[in-house]
Amino acid sequence: MGKPRITAETQVLLCAVSASFLTPFIGSAITVALPAIGRHYAMNALSLSWVALSYMIASAVFLVPFGRLADIHGKERFFFAGIVISTIASALCTAAWSGPSLIALRFVQGVGAAMIFATSTALLTSAYPVSQHGRVLGINTASIFIGLSAGPVAGGLLTGAFGWRSVFVPMALIGCLTAVIGSTLLKSRGNTRADATFDHAGALVYALGAAGLIAGFSFVARGSGLLLAAAGALAMGLFVLREAFARRPLLGIKRYAGNVVFVLSNATAFLHYSATSASTFFLSLYLQYIYGYAPKEAGALLMIQPAVMAGISPFTGALSDRIQPRFLASAGLLVTACGLGTAGFLEARSPLIHLVLSLCCIGVGVGLFSSPNTNAVMSAVDRHDYGVASALLGSMRLFGQAASVAFAASVIALHAGSGSISSASYPGFVTAMQLTLRILSAACVLGAVMSLTCGNVVRGAGPTSPFARSPGPPGRRGPDRTPTSQPTWNDRAEFNSASVTKATDRWRERSDDGLGLEPVAPADARKETIASKEFRAGSPGWPAAPWSSPAAGDDDGLTGANDAIRVPVGRGFRAAAG
């Protein structure tokens, strides 16, 4: 009895899940270790903030350009490169010799993370058929939430037992394991698209805008932060203008403008991440300042939310394969709105169960929303655009998180002052938290309406797994020519219309040889009618072979694609007057 064989699809799933776990794990774990890092290098608060900010800026700057490059040169290659870069940078972080060196290495980590963010979701949707997208995306989303849950706990334990450098060791070890699992598969796949181009100038403008927005949001309480955010917004405006008029744009905004499902699903993702990130920020401070909990105790209590999210995501992801994702995503936004609204009524002396119920409600809402919304985004684009779609969705998360924290900091400064939070400013802090969470709850309701009205995801066969053997021409059968999935209406329409065109050209050539045939060129509307008719009458598999019989009842006076190929003098031709 042979050893159990791991399929190529399973290898992709293992690699994607491992990478999706690592990136939030290291981000949340390093937050716990920041005080120890500051003491070790004698860094002030501003310098210490760059340990986390450099990672976020690098991810935001390179995410979309890497998504486009991955679509051109192969998602597998960029994913593998991201794993290697992140692993090496994590190993070097354990030996960082100064504060600036650690900040620089964290920036390199962010570059690797951008490669992973831009390709992990794209790899999964490329490797699995459309009917399984929700299931695998749900598993992948659960791994993200598990990383968020385990990060603070592991970071605190490792920092307390072995020092802050040990926080980077799990990232290096798991990264090495992921690279080994995926090396033979991922390095050998991924074809370069010779017809695609990359807009270097557009990528530079986008990078400047992303860096300005993230840095500006992070320091919004200062005058420099507002200037940076304004400069970033201006650069993003220039980027949009360039996208509208460039011959070879980076994203092709005009191409996506009419894709309502894609646009609104990304917009609701931005709103959702904005709402949930600010709630975590506020509730963490609330537990420490109002309840007097230590950071470890507050972190352990806040783990309730990602734990609930991780438990629900696989089921909602699989469910989104059976019903339209917009219904689940809208329900998730409404449940999140309820949780935020409940938390918005927390007082200085509210019972702890009030907070726990709010966290559970938010966790259920996020679990309902994340996987189905990701499924909707990835199902709304062609497989050649999976990298860009995955990168844009990741950008919505990063910009939403940064914008929410900036908004929360601004409201706190307005009600509790711009100085450090003290007992005298506790009432103002509670007022700011209540106001912000209620506003974000209303934003989630708006997002639910947007998600509900975005339209249905078109259910079709979609792309087949790239690891399956390629099918041959329609109608042919053989060891390497068995179709791996049912073609969509567009596949059949393109095939049949192309057959009509080729047949017409062929008869035109024969008429030049004196066969006495005068071709009657079919109009575009006529072609579409032919393709539609054959789709209705055809079998559920590939279109009929060119030499097969016409469909029963073919008496409408039109020449189908198969008729034109089968009969030299068909109804689409008439004898020339002679």
| Domain of residue 59, CATH code | 1.20.1250.20
**Pick from 437, 459, 481: which residue ends a domain?**
459
Estimate the crossing angle of helix 75-93 against helix 169-186, to 10 degrees. 160
Q: Is residue 516 part of a domain?
A: yes
Q: Is residue 224 part of a domain?
A: no
Q: Is residue 42 part of a domain?
A: yes
Say yes or no: 446 and 299 in one domain.
Answer: yes
C-alpha 394/C-alpha 269 separation (Å) is 9
pLDDT grade for 459, boundaries at 50, 70 and 90: low
Say yes or no: 81 and 183 in one domain.
Answer: yes
Q: Quote the pLDDT of residue 548.
A: 38
H or E element at residue 299 = helix 295-302
Q: Is residue 222 part of a domain?
A: no
Say yes or no: 269 and 402 in one domain.
Answer: yes
In this structure, are residues 95 and 206 in contact, taking their beta carbons and an 8 Å threshold? no
Tokens of 19: 């990478």
Q: Which residue did the predictor score with more confidence, 62 or 349?
A: 62
Q: Quote the pLDDT of residue 508.
A: 44
pLDDT in tens, 163-186: 889 889 988 888 888 888 777 655
**Pick from 441, 459, 477: which residue ends a domain?**
459
Say yes or no: 282 and 138 in one domain.
Answer: no
Q: Is residue 520 part of a domain?
A: yes
Q: Quote the pLDDT of residue 538.
A: 41
Q: Quote the pLDDT of residue 221.
A: 64
Give the number of domains in the chain: 3
Say yes or no: 402 and 530 in one domain.
Answer: no
Q: Which range marks the domain in which residue 107 is found?
A: 7-187
The answer for residues whose C-beta is within 8 angstroms of residue 132's C-beta and 6 or more apart is 321
pLDDT grade for 467, boundaries at 50, 70 and 90: very low
Q: Is residue 220 part of a domain?
A: no
Say yes or no: 388 and 498 in one domain.
Answer: no
Say yes or no: 277 and 182 in one domain.
Answer: no
Say yes or no: 518 and 448 in one domain.
Answer: no
Name which of 14-28, 224-238, 451-465, 519-533 the model is least confident about. Answer: 519-533
Q: Is residue 244 part of a domain?
A: no
Which residue is listed with tokens 């937050």?
Answer: 31
Q: What angle do CA 480, 133, 359 make, to 5 degrees?
A: 165
Say yes or no: 181 and 116 in one domain.
Answer: yes
Say yes or no: 499 and 442 in one domain.
Answer: no
Say yes or no: 544 and 501 in one domain.
Answer: yes
Q: How many CA atoms lie within 13 A of 141 on its CB side?
A: 30
By CB neighbour count within 10 A (0-12 exposed, 13-18 middle, 19+ buried), where does 57 fall? buried
H or E element at residue 517 = strand 517-519
C-alpha 81/C-alpha 103 separation (Å) is 21
C-alpha 440/C-alpha 483 separation (Å) is 48
**Pick from 162, 187, 212: which residue ends a domain?**
187
Task: Name the residue type at position 118.
Answer: A
Query: For all residues of the chain together, what is the average pLDDT?
Result: 75
Q: Quote the pLDDT of residue 509.
A: 42
Say yes or no: 433 and 339 in one domain.
Answer: yes
Q: Is residue 346 part of a domain?
A: yes
